[in-house]
Amino acid sequence: MIEDNYRQRGLRNNLVKKLRLKGILDESVLKAIGKVPRHVFFDNALLNHAYEDKAFPIGEGQTISQPYTVAFQTEKLEIKQGDKVLEIGTGSGYQAAILVELGAKVYTIEFQKKLYEHTKEFLPQIGYKPLFFFGDGSKGIPAKAPYDKIIVTAGAPVIPDALIEQLTENGILIIPVGDREKQKMVRIIKKNGKLLKEEFDSFAFVPLLGEQGWK
Ligand code: SAH
């Protein structure tokens, strides 16, 4: 286990300050980012980069999202203690850890077997215990639906119908939608059977694969 010393905590506090300057306002989100040790998700060779506000490779051609992106998506979800949250794209597990830290009951699904196996083993070792699923999350996880919140951490070509269906009344979906290189962050809120849609800035995610994703 890699230690979490005063130096790492100092770097993490600086990262939190930077995110605040970049416009993240939700104190509970900032607190969670200040708490989850991001450096333990990194290989030794990249350890010095753990508290930069950048995405990094985590193997299998996938990435750990940029802290600003994690903070932005999480803030838009307005997580409350006990919320049932579905995350599509477990990856490193960092985003899932932030959600658990905020008191959510997290269901996370990953399409790459090796990543699924790695993160399912690793994350509980550092104290975060979401429920792990392997498979195509572009269809959600119907068997466990509905969810108060759904977060997609890979870029989608369209908003999968299945995800909207699996939201509770007043549920919130946050999903990057666009082409393979660049996506607009979209938030859908389900209210009185209607869908409220908001669009935010552009981001660059790895592609969402699967039935409702890229072929
Ligand atoms: N949330 C992650 C970021 C992951 S990058 C983190 O905090 O580190 C996006 C992830 O989505 C990749 O691991 C990729 O394998 C996964 N993915 C892509 N398409 C998927 C699908 N249809 N279902 C589930 N996971 C998918």
The answer to whether position 154 is within a domain reads yes
d(CA 117, CA 59): 13
CA distances from 16 to 21, 79, 203 (A): 9, 18, 20
Query: How many whole angstroms from 208 Cα to the centroid of ligand 1?
Result: 7
Which string of DSSP letters, residue by residue, matches 168-181? EEEEEEEEEEESSS
The answer to whether position 194 is within a domain reads yes
206 lines ligand 1 (CB under 6 A): yes
pLDDT category of residue 43 using cuts at 50, 70 and 90: confident
The answer to whether position 2 is within a domain reads no
Please count the structural domains in the chain.
1
The answer to whether position 35 is within a domain reads no
pLDDT at 1: 56
The answer to whether position 16 is within a domain reads no
- The model's pLDDT over 4-41, given as tens digits with 9 standing for 90+, comes to 889 999 999 999 999 999 999 999 999 999 999 999 99
Range of the domain at 165: 56-203
Query: How many whole angstroms from 6 Cα to the centroid of ligand 1?
Result: 31
pLDDT at 2: 64
d(CA 121, CA 135): 17
Q: Are 133 and 205 in contact (CB under 8 A)?
A: no
The strand pairing partners of 176, in sequence order, are 185
Within the chain, how many helices (H) and strands (E) appear? 6, 9
119 lines ligand 1 (CB under 6 A): no
CATH number at residue 85: 3.40.50.150
Mean pLDDT of 33-53: 93
- The model's pLDDT over 82-91, given as tens digits with 9 standing for 90+, comes to 999 999 999 9
The answer to whether position 127 is within a domain reads yes
